[in-house]
Chains A and B, each alone.
Chain A
Amino acid sequence: MAKHTYVYVTYILTTPEKIWEALTDQKISASYWERENVSDWKVGSRWEHRLPGKSPDVVGEVLESDPPRRLVTTWKVPGDEDNLDRTNRCVFDIEEAGGKVKLTVTHSDLNDKALANVSGGWPAVLSNLKTLLETGHTLPNPYSAVANHPKG
């Protein structure tokens, strides 16, 4: 079966460290991505992508981890992890670019079905991430009632 690659780029007014944190922190990833990313992000470790508290939709391995510059993971279907046809690879490259930070997502080894799932999803995830980091707006803040409480 033909394998596909997709490349997505967004420029975000933030720091590489903040993008790295947003990609790898369980709570922050859940706030803009709906699903949380869970791992210790060491090379060789397992990572999971799941609705908070649910069983994972995607699992895989951390292939490269160079904070805050480059993160490479495999994406596999839980329960079918040895199936190479359903294994794909996702690279996050984070670079400073003229006062902004360029985030490049390269998702490769996608089969036709995975392509259909992925190609609608990334632009929305990246837009949400950008909005979160630039405005803080998509971050649901469970403590807002406390934070807004009059201090005097």
Chain B
Amino acid sequence: MADDMDPVFKALADASRRRLLDRLHADQGQTLGALAAGLDMTRQAVSQHLSVLEAANLIATVKRGREKLHYLNPVPIHDIHARWIAKFERPRLDALAALKQNLEGDRDG
């Protein structure tokens, strides 16, 4: 199987794009306008970031009438997870993540 993860890591290597994914994770199916609202970025910049994310298959888009709705597509992130995290490690890693979140407070990275 070809290693097609490069576009995924390149797309994730940008704080603004990760923030857009966070926004979709919190609320799926947003328009460009909704995603750009309240961000310190031009609508054009947001649109370009969304294109990079879509090319990496990290978001899926659905046309509804004249609107384009954006959805976080977690399949490539699952592939990263499946590649390096063994099944038996998962409960302990979940426990560590919960501990870290408890101690540090539920802050966004």
Q: Which residues of A contact B (CB under 8 A)?
A: 4-11, 13, 104, 106, 119, 122-124, 126-127, 131, 134-135
Contact = CB atoms under 8 A, between A and B. Distances in A.
A126 B75 contact: yes
Interface stretch (B12-20, B35-43, B44-52, B77-85): B77-85
Contact of B62 (A11, A13, A106, A135): A106
Contact of A127 (B62, B71, B73, B79): B79
B71 A123 contact: no
Contact of B78 (A7, A9, A106, A127): A127
Interface residues of B, number: 15
Nearest to A5: B29
18 contacts: A5-B71, A6-B71, A7-B28, A7-B71, A7-B73, A8-B73, A8-B74, A9-B73, A9-B75, A10-B57, A11-B57, A104-B60, A119-B74, A123-B74, A124-B78, A127-B78, A127-B79, A135-B1
Interface of B: 1-2, 28-29, 57, 60, 62, 71, 73-75, 77-79, 82
